[in-house]
Amino acid sequence: MLEARLEQANLFKKVVDAIKDLVQDCNFDCNDSGIALQAMDNSHVALVSMMLRSESFAPFRCDRNIALGINLTSLTKVLKCAQSDDILTLKAEDAPDVVELVFESAESDRISEYSIKLMDIDQEHLGIPETDYGATISMPAAEFQRICRDLIALSESVSIECSKEGVKFACQGDIGSGAVTLRQHTNVDKPEMNVEINMSEPVSLTFSLKYLVNFCKASGLSNQVRLCLSNEVPLLVEYSLANNSHLRFYLAPKIGD
């Protein structure tokens, strides 16, 4: 059986909120290392990969591998019933028909119990190769969100170029063009504002802004976002969570000209 208690229901709420517009029906794969999810969007352009490690829960118990097939719209409805300070416990039997969600108030004696019917989801798992990226950029998540939202007003796609000059986000549209360049930057007082660029080779790739704006819905999960780029491979957009957990998005580049 699965029993996973999360001190902050809000964390799970935010994760589901961040991915629900990208993917609809997902398997939450539970085993003794934690709860993982991998799902592609309908058009097979983007891939979501979430890992909530067992250390993120207290207690965490999962005796055998269980795939919880959940519709995220249904999950969102139920998670709305949790208050942000509530403690969340996910429960399921070994061959479950439902997943149970229990919300407990830390301050009062309220206990709310919900269940969601599970779905049989035939999901293909993709093998994500270990990649030595040509450029890795860590930057404030809010800054990345702002850049994507600003540029989508002008164009459908953005080129991300990383060189020794810094990282340049540029777009061209019908009304004109826009570009934002960031250089490495250290803020001693506010390290969450740092921009760190590690580059082993110059990279230049073009991506659909619609997807990037969608990924940025995860901005509330982490102060910083990490962008990993190599020429001609998918972009990795990573939000790190506590206890070595993470929410990652992969986006296939635009190709040709």
Q: Which residues bind another protein (CB under 8 A)?
A: 40, 43-47, 124-129, 157, 206, 208, 233-234, 250-257
Per the rule left: phi > 0, alpha: psi between -120 and 50, beta: everything else, 44 is: left
Query: Of 59 and 176, which CB lies nearer to another protein in the complex structure?
Result: 176
Query: Of 40 and 98, which CB lies nearer to another protein in the complex structure?
Result: 40
Q: Are 86 and 114 in contact (CB under 8 A)?
A: no
> What is the Cα Rg of the chain in Å?
20
Smallest distance, another protein to C-beta of residue 41, A: 8
Query: Of 59 and 256, which CB lies nearer to another protein in the complex structure?
Result: 256
CA torsion through residues 160, 161, 167, 170, sign: negative
Smallest distance, another protein to C-beta of residue 111, A: 39
Query: Of 162 and 205, which CB lies nearer to another protein in the complex structure?
Result: 205
Indicate the pairing of strand 111-117 with strand 246-251: unpaired
Query: Of 47 and 79, which CB lies nearer to another protein in the complex structure?
Result: 47
- The residues that bridge with 24 in the sheet, in sequence order, are none
Smallest distance, another protein to C-beta of residue 43, A: 8
Indicate the pairing of strand 60-62 with strand 166-172: unpaired
Smallest distance, another protein to C-beta of residue 232, A: 9
Q: Are 162 and 134 in contact (CB under 8 A)?
A: yes
- Quick one: angle between helices 72-79 and 9-19, nearest 10? 150
Smallest distance, another protein to C-beta of residue 239, A: 18
Q: How far apart are CA 212 and CA 149, in angstroms?
A: 9
